[in-house]
Amino acid sequence: MAIEGPIKELGLTDLFQLLSLSEKSGRLTISPSGGHDVFIYFEKGRITFASSDDREYDIGNVLIKKRRMSEEDVKRLRNSLGKDEQLVDGLVSQKLIPSSEIRTYLTKFTEELVYELLKINDGDFRFEEGIPAPSKTVISLRTENIIMEGSRRIDEWSKIREKVPSMDTVVRVSPNIESVDSRDYIESVDSIDFKPDEWSILACIDGKRSISEIVKSVNQNEFDVCKVIYGFLMTGVCELGKGQISLESYLTKGNDYVRGGQYREAIEEYEKALEIDSNNYRLYHSIGQCYAKLNDLNKAVSYWEKYIVLSPSDEFNVKEKIRLARSWKEAIE
């Protein structure tokens, strides 16, 4: 018999603990509100495998981020798989990566996926007994250990969020460190016992990139990067930009709104990006496009004209758009 219901009624931490203590075997499906389904497989209460409909949470993506395989290699492997064959099994059968190394990646991937799941408060779950893992390559994780680490991370997140309120915020090296003589700066920084991963994060802090962009640059998980940045902030090595959000963050949000047909919201994000870089001619083109979609041709032409002034070449054929817009206005007046 399946166990199912809304997550808000039975928290995922309690659910994982129940499956562990009762030594259940089967598949747990988590369906977050507005998100992709995630599948966790159990064998006698221990976690053996995990997968997701979201490619962001995919073992192939992990290998790409860790630079263990290229995107092209992963794509080629996917295309070679048989029906229902798992990517991880293809790695083993084709001997692309040693099986012991694959299990290490699979363990890390599964742990991180479950840690993210434990933060979910809204959505639905369904546990179906007797459904085995779809892969021949499985692991065996003590569920109670995962729960303890996940709970610890949730507690730490609450502290981190006090200093790191948004992943879109820009981080910069503290002015009192930047202002010292370069030789003294090197000596003072070298005296700090940073770990290699901390050095790689510090190297990405340039006063321009947001925290989310730093996460992507260093190929580490969000929690570990934020924990290191939290330490930098607490020790005065770095500071947050005063209300500063990166240009890329505004562009990403604006583009997402455009894809969803929310053109007014997109304009708001693009305008914020212009406050950071008023000479970004592509932004004027994008805002003009949004106004055109809203049938406000006067404003569309106004932004397109600014694009023409700043653009080194009319790559979007905006002059023709302006001509057509003016012709249309004259035709309807």
Instruction: Classify 164-244 by CATH class.
Output: mainly alpha
Is pLDDT larger for residue 57 or for residue 2? 2
The pair phi, psi for residue 2, each rounded to 5°, is: -80, 145
What per-residue confidence (pLDDT) applies to 228? Answer: 92
Through-space distance between the first and last CA atoms of the chain, rounded to whole angstroms: 69
Q: Which of 244, 177, 179, 180 is nearest to 207 (CA)?
A: 244
State pLDDT tens for residues 295-328: 898 899 999 989 888 887 776 788 888 888 777 7
Decide the pairing of beta strands 3-6 and 123-129. antiparallel
Mean pLDDT of 150-176: 83
What per-residue confidence (pLDDT) applies to 147? Answer: 93
Please state at what angle helix 247-259 crosses helix 281-293, rounded to 10 degrees: 20
What CATH number labels 248-332?
A: 1.25.40.10
Is the predicted pLDDT of residue 286 greater than 80, yes or no? yes
Query: pLDDT band at residue 181, thresholds of 50, 70 and 90?
Result: very low
What per-residue confidence (pLDDT) applies to 163? Answer: 81
Please state the domain extents for the chain. 3-150, 164-244, 248-332
- Biggest CA pair distance of the chain: 75
Is the predicted pLDDT of residue 192 greater than 80, yes or no? no
What per-residue confidence (pLDDT) applies to 245? Answer: 66
> What's the chain's average pLDDT?
84
Global pTM? Answer: 0.62
Query: pLDDT band at residue 241, thresholds of 50, 70 and 90?
Result: confident
Q: Which of 48, 45, 2, 40 is nearest to 25 (CA)?
A: 45
In order of 40, 95, 129, 177, the CA distances from 133 in angstroms are: 8, 21, 11, 52
Do the domains spanning 164-244 and 248-332 agree at the CATH topology level? no
Is the predicted pLDDT of residue 55 greater than 90, yes or no? no
pLDDT > 90 in the chain, percent = 26
What per-residue confidence (pLDDT) applies to 94? Answer: 86
3-state secondary structure the chain: CCEEEECCCCCHHHHHHHHHHCCCCEEEEEEECCCCCEEEEEECCEEEEEEECCHHHCHHHHHHHCCCCCHHHHHHHHHHCCCCCCHHHHHHHCCCCCHHHHHHHHHHHHHHHHHHHCCCCCEEEEEEECCCCCCCCCCCECHHHHHHHHHHHHHHHHHHHHHCCCCCEEEEECHHHHCCCHHHHHHHHHCCCCCHHHHHHHHHCCCCCEHHHHHHHHCCCHHHHHHHHHHHHHHCCEEEEEEEECHHHHHHHHHHHHHCCCHHHHHHHHHHHHHHCCCCHHHHHHHHHHHHHCCCHHHHHHHHHHHHHHCCCCCCCHHHHHHHHHHHHHHHC
